Amino acid sequence: MALRRRILALLSAVLGGALLLAALGVAPLAFRILPDDRVRAGTLAAEVFELTYWFALAVGVVALLFGDLRRPRPTLTALLLVVLSGVQLGLVAPLLAAHGAGWPFSFAALHGTASAVHLALIAAALGLAWMFSSPS
């Protein structure tokens, strides 16, 4: 069980780092490198975000399958990873790609929603890493 928890802690920590890198590194860099082509910059950033959300979904599923289901906090946090990454992949990202078509509020509100969910994913990933790395 100790090895399993270490692997889950490592996966969760790597996920948290990937989510942070996408938000604080890749996205700003894409818009700085391509200032005259915001569509291409947005597409590049969206591709990176999509990869991190698929990774978050996978880590959440692995944590649910191989974590200790008797411990409610890691289980709920892993479930949160699955749900939030599903929301990003299935709802928010397609709306962003369609430039907010079908979204009842402004594009800025949609972008803010995506950012808030992304921050929640970072917190869940790092929290899960903390939970799996601490003693039972």
pLDDT of residue 71: 85
Answer yes or no: is pLDDT of 1 > 70: no
CB atoms inside a 10 Å sphere around CB 67: 21
Q: What is the pLDDT of residues 86-101, one digit of tens each?
A: 999 999 999 888 887 8
Closest CA to 114 of 85, 79, 78: 85
Query: Phi/psi at 25 (nearest 5 deg)?
Result: -115, -60
* Dist CA 79 CA 60 (whole Å): 6
- Specify the length of the chain in residues: 136
Pair of tokens at residue 107: 């594009």
Can you give the pTM of this predicted structure? 0.93
pLDDT of residue 80: 97
Query: How many folded domains does the chain comprise?
Result: 1
pLDDT of residue 39: 86
pLDDT of residue 136: 63
Q: What is the pLDDT of residues 9-65, one digit of tens each?
A: 999 999 999 999 999 999 999 999 999 998 899 889 999 999 999 999 999 999 999
Domain of 94 in residue numbering reads as 2-133
pLDDT of residue 107: 85
